[in-house]
Amino acid sequence: MGTVSSLFTLARAGYVLAREGVFSALPADALPPTARAGHFVARMIARRRAADAEPSERLSLALNRMGPSWVKLGQFLATRPDVVGSQIAGELALLQDRMRPFATAQSKEVIAASLGRDADTVFDEFSEPIAAASIAQVHKAVKRETGEHIAVKVLRPGIRTRFVRDLDTFFVAARLQERFIAASRRLRPMAVAETLAQSARIEMDMRLEAAALSEMADNVADDPGFRLPRVDWELTGRDCLTLEWIDGVKITDVDALKAAGHDPKKLAETLMQSFLRHTLRDGFFHADMHPGNLFVEADGAIVAVDLGIAGRLGRKERRFLAEILYGFISRGYRRAAQVHFDAGYVPLHHDVDSFAQALRAIGEPIHGQSAGSISMARLLTLLFEVTELFDMQTRPELLLLQKTMVVVEGVARSLDPDFNMWKVSEPVVGEWMRRNLGPAGALEEAGLGLRAVGRLASSLPEMADRAQSLSGELDRMSREGLRFDTETAERIGRAEARHTRWGRIALWVIALTAAMALYLQYFAD
């Protein structure tokens, strides 16, 4: 029954997307005949007013109608242009996560269940919701013990149950893709769905967001002009997160910033350099730095809130990023190309010099532009497009970085239209290169190597035992052959029968959905 329910949920989702004009906004020229017929049906179903809306508005409206899980799916897919394409990913990046708030009384019930304390005994004041998104909403409150103004982020009631149900639907869709659409298999839809599921599980535990805020706050404690709000661990639980209240100006309100005596150009520089420091130095960056999450305090410090999405880069990825950026800054394309091969991102059967030539084709036009038109986000987009020609495998952590850099750069340009990307980036990237690729970096790498050798030596006895066990098992198989027990054979038979049955059901559901959509359209409009 679960699969049948998921199939009908998919059918409903398809109908909502068609009604809001999402499908009809897509180009139909390159579609095969069957898909063109579906596109024609979608155009017939679409609301008349949908034709006047921008594609991102249509998508935002449709996903918000379908519920919080679908909004989160859209935000997740915005980080995967390799899966949905650059155009759709760009539209999803503009998705507005604005859901209807739930009652303040429900928020207090969630807080009481999470903290084991009645909300009215903890807070002197507790406002109506001031912001509501797909996962949680935020209230302003006053802490009774100290009189301190705080922000309380509360998880939506029932959101976990809703997510579990909708995630089942996403997994069914991924399985159908892999089974019936051969071209999609290289994109690994099931792996994408599993990544989404893990991301959602993390985001729905407020203690993990609190830990991320605490970790990043420690990382940036000595950084100039950037900080994060302090976590109140006493009033933080699985379903609610309490932070200090930030009194500041939204970073996109340029007139208010100037009136408060702040220099927008300096703020743009601080924002980008802070992001690069977090990425290169710490390997841990705020991956949701849209304008609504950034405030400027009276002393000029930028405060980033809402760390539900964070990105991590390992040492290899950080070196890769720094070398690439520095290669383009200094026009060292051969070195930048070699980094791709050293990191294992481009297969060795390709030629380094040919790849360097491709990088030069990206870099030289950028160097010929004015400072205000140079875009690092555009550079990374072009880079990933070129690397597809050289069989570079998808790197999800780099795609998340690219998406975040697009947002950060957009905020910086809203503060300073003549923002010079290279000039601002060079001090941070150059410092990282000198520290990590010079003598000090070589010593640190040697120390890491020695520690790795020590760990390997300590695990040798266990490895020897496993090798001996494996050798005995291989010897037995060579003599007796590989055999399935009865239970395994029966499971394989049941699985094959189930796949065949659900495949037929899926085709019927698709056909019924199309017929139902035409019927509803005929009587609705």
Residues 6+ apart with CB under 8 A from 387: 340, 345, 346
What whole-number distance in Å separates Cα of residue 231 and Cα of residue 209? 10
What whole-number distance in Å separates Cα of residue 132 and Cα of residue 129? 7
What whole-number distance in Å separates Cα of residue 274 and Cα of residue 277? 5
Pick from 188, 197, 236, 185: nearest CA to 213:
236
Instruction: Determine contact, residues 258/247, Cβ cutoff 8 Å.
Output: no
Cα separations (Å) of 294 from 174, 250, 323?
A: 35, 6, 29
CA–chain centroid gap for 87, Å, is 16
Quickly tell me which residue has 């509360």 as its tokens: 154
Cα separations (Å) of 76 from 14, 292, 400?
A: 19, 18, 9
Sign of CA dihedral 502, 507, 511, 516: positive
What whole-number distance in Å separates Cα of residue 205 and Cα of residue 244? 19
Pick from 60, 81, 73: nearest CA to 174:
73
Pick from 375, 366, 376, 324: nearest CA to 345:
324
Q: Is 218 a catalytic residue?
A: no
Q: Which two tokens stand for residue 503?
A: 């495949």
Inter-helix orientation angle 68-77/86-93, to 10°: 130
HSE (side-chain half, CA atoms, 13 Å) at 26: 20
Instruction: Determine contact, residues 381/402, Cβ cutoff 8 Å.
Output: yes
Catalytic residue among 166, 239, 288, 306: 288
Q: Tell me the catalytic residues.
A: 288
